[in-house]
Structure 1
Amino acid sequence: MVDPEGAYVPEEQRLGPVLRRHDQVQTGTTTDQRLLDSEGPSEWVHTDPWRVMRIQSEFVEGFGALAELGPAVSVFGSARTPRGTAEYDAGVRIGAALVKAGFSVITGGGPGAMEAANKGAFEAGGTSVGLGIELPFEQGMNEYVNLGVDFRYFFVRKTCFVKYARGFVVLPGGLGTLDELFEALTLVQTRKVTRFPIVLFGSDYWSGLLSWLRETVVSQGKASVHDLELFHLSDDVDEAIALVTKEVGI
């Protein structure tokens, strides 16, 4: 076959795993030639296929860093929790208690409640993990993280939170904390993940949410009453640790 400019065009063309024949055959350079050519447009770094490669690389880096972590518990909570408050102190005690129970501690790596849990784990001599996220206003990894991974994509980060945790402890937090909480609950409820314990710490903070779930969501048939058994509520650090570890057994 000959193109309008007189150049020979093959009847069959293989481009990696793709087979093209007849009018689907593309003219132009080979894949290797395009790879080795230093000139040309750079818009490709912003295309979806390139984003897929970045996403893949984040999974590889995250999985590689955490594969040998051992038993761990993810602790969520607000980045805005001030130091010196009761909530911050509870986070420190929870982080330390989890290490003493044989767990590494995973947080989002930021300040506030995340820093508190990392601090407790670090000072107790355990592995203190931070899974950070690229945000325009993010403060970076807190100083108590001794194993950190930064992510571009929320969904890759959240996969690592779930994949490498045996349970969740959820301190008072905002939209990000609620996102992580309800993703975990949904995965457990739909059996997309092996059931693991989820503990909400701080009844004063979480009681309004639980009332809404019970009196609105469940009462209107949008969820089952049994879904309320997917998590526990506690105000006591020792009880919270017992609740999150009793179903795990290490």
Structure 2
Amino acid sequence: MPELPEVEVTRQSFRERIRGARITGVRLGKPLRWPLGVAPEALIERTVGEVARRGKYLWLPLEHAGTPAGGLLMHLGMSGSLAFTDLPGDAGTHDHFDLVTTRGTLRLTDPRRFGAVVWSLSQSDGMAAKLLSGLGREPLEAGFDGAYLHAALKRRRIAVKLALLSGDIVVGAGNIYACEALFAAGIDPRARSDRISRPRSDRLAAAVRETLAQALRLGGSTLRDFRDAHGMEGRFQAQAQVYGRAGEPCRVCGATIRRVVQGQRSTFFCPGCQRR
């Protein structure tokens, strides 16, 4: 699933080109997770503003005649990707939304159709408010630190990795990044969240920030389907210390990397470097 780094890389890959573009057409393919929420023709002649990100959602604000006219909230789902091109070609089986503008076409491709494109009056109104209201803090912004993380973890009695994945403490720390951050912090992913000390919380918050920042620098992770709006793959997965390396030796201590299942997701960790 595209996580915070992949969504941010996607945003950065097309935000400059689409800003100020006028919408000339909208094409809907097979139904996505939720309906668009507005007649497609109502979006014609609206202008796209500065694309923003909240967690794993992208927000495309729209204007009409210089005044705000709502916006489109987009989610890539489990396997979706966005491409912004001058000549997109005919829509394929998995191409479910086209936003045609004076500067190119923004196309959502989503084989599993868990993605979404919904219109709302603002991020604090309608469907957008419903989807965004329960999100945790942004890990790369002020306010996400050891003190905050320690207090949030104290309120949970679940494995620390599951707490990171819940989305209501911190956004975007998906499976691969949670595994890597916990390794960097030296914390066993099975440790109970309410037993993580303040010093360990400080280390974990710093590790989450650095792991996601590194992923951004490397263009995210491409395990199967992810591409940015230029069609480029991510490279972070090649730098992973534990993720996907079960049975291989740890590059730090030499112990054998283990794999367990938590919350129906594979967890990878080093029993030598990571402690409960």
Which interval holds the TM-score relative to the shorter structure? under 0.3
TM-score normalised by L of structure 2 = 0.26
More helix by share: 1
Taking structure 1 as the reference length, the TM-score comes to: 0.28
Which fold has the larger relative contact order, with Cα–Cα distance below 8 Å and residues 6 or more apart in sequence?
2
Q: Which has the higher strand share?
A: 2
Report which of the two structures shows the higher radius of gyration computed on alpha carbons.
1
